[in-house]
Structure 1
Amino acid sequence: MVNRVVLLLLAEHQQQLSHAHGTAQAKTRRINENDMRRTRLQVDMGLMACLSAFELGNGLDG
């Protein structure tokens, strides 16, 4: 009887750990997606700044 209770408690604990692990993975995935979006935005802003400087330079020279 005691062994059965211990096994049930272990099974419940394992289920809770599994759920917590899944939640942590989902949170990590969201953080990574946000980091990728932020990086893409920074690259886009950098490219726009370079293009603007290039156009400004061409406008002054030409």
Structure 2
Amino acid sequence: EDEEGEDPLDAMISRTGCLAQHRELQECMAAHQDWRHCQPQVRAFGKCMAQRQHAQE
């Protein structure tokens, strides 16, 4: 498998317009290894995804 290829999850999230929030959450999780320390990022990503889903309805 080509390691240079785009991650399918990143590609899917990129299409939602929430990639920046997702990356911030990933960086926080990598640093803290505990989602409880990343609640602002979790909320920001969730809010972005909810707005995107609501816009599609």
Q: Is TM (by shorter chain) over 0.5?
A: no
Rg: which structure is higher? 1
Normalised by the length of structure 1, the TM-score is 0.34
Normalised by the length of structure 2, the TM-score is 0.36
- RCO comparison, higher one (Cα < 8 Å, 6+): 2
